[in-house]
A and B are shown apart, each in its own frame.
Chain A
Amino acid sequence: AQSVSQHNHHVILSEAASLELGCNYSYGGTVNLFWYVQYPGQHLQLLLKYFSGDPLVKGIKGFEAEFIKSKFSFNLRKPSVQWSDTAEYFCALISGGSYIPTFGRGTSLIVHP
C-alpha cells in the first residue's frame, strides 16, 4: 500500500526565512507527486506537481520541490517566505494507474511578519 509522510506537523518562521517541508512516500513504482496549499478558511489548491522529467519542479509563488527517487522524497522549498505563505501544506501522491490520491497529514506553516 502507498503512504505519504510529512515529518513537520507545525513550522513557525519569520518573514524572509528559508523553508523546507519534508515529504516521503512509500511506493515502489511510478508515482505522480503533488503539493497542495490550503490558505486559512479556504479549499486546497495546487502548488506544484511532478509527473516525470526534470526532478526540480517550480510552482506558483516562488515554491519549488525536488523529487529524489532514491530517497522516496519530494521536499518543498522556498528561499524566502512571506507572511502570506501562512497556510497548511499537503503532500500527495497517485501511483501509476490508480484513481485514488494518498495525502499526507499536512504541515501547518505560520510566518510571523
Chain B
Amino acid sequence: NAGVTQTPKFQVLKTGQSMTLQCAQDMNHNSMYWYRQDPGMGLRLIYYSASEGTTDKGEVPNGYNVSRLNKREFSLRLESAAPSQTSVYFCASSVVGETQYFGPGTRLLVL
C-alpha cells in the first residue's frame, strides 16, 4: 500500500517548456487534489477532482490543466512554464469530507 505517489520528485524547466506531473493513489479515494506550496502562502488549491470524470478549478488554476485519467490517477500539466510556477507541488486524495493523504511532492524550478 504505497498511498499517494508523485513523479517526478524534482524538475528544472526553462521558461516556455511543458511538463506533466503525475499522481496516483491506491486507497480507492474518489477525490483528488493538486496544490502548490510557496513560502508564506501556505497551500493553494490549483485543481481538484471530486470523482472520476470530473475536474474543477481551485484558487490558482491559471497556467495549469489537469486530467483525471481514471480513479487512481490525476495529472497536472504545465503547457508553457513560467518562473512564477516555481514551487513545490503536492497531490492529495481523500474520501469526500475526510482526511487528505498527501504525496511526497514535486519540487519544480522554472528558469
Total number of B residues with any Cβ neighbor in A under 8 Å: 21
Residues B84-111 near A (CB distance < 8 A): 90, 92, 96-100, 102-105
Q: Does A100 interact with chain B (Cβ within 8 Å)?
A: yes
Q: Does A77 contact B (CB under 8 A)?
A: no
A98 at the interface (CB under 8 A from B): yes
Report if A99-B90 is in contact (Cβ < 8 Å); known contacts: A32-B97, A94-B97, A106-B42. Answer: no
Judge if B48 is at the interface, Cβ distance under 8 Å.
Answer: yes
Q: Which residues of B line the A interface, CB within 8 A? A: 31, 33, 40-43, 45, 48, 50, 58, 90, 92, 96-100, 102-105
Give the interface of A toward B (CB within 8 A).
9, 32, 34, 36, 42-46, 49, 90, 92, 94, 96-101, 103-106
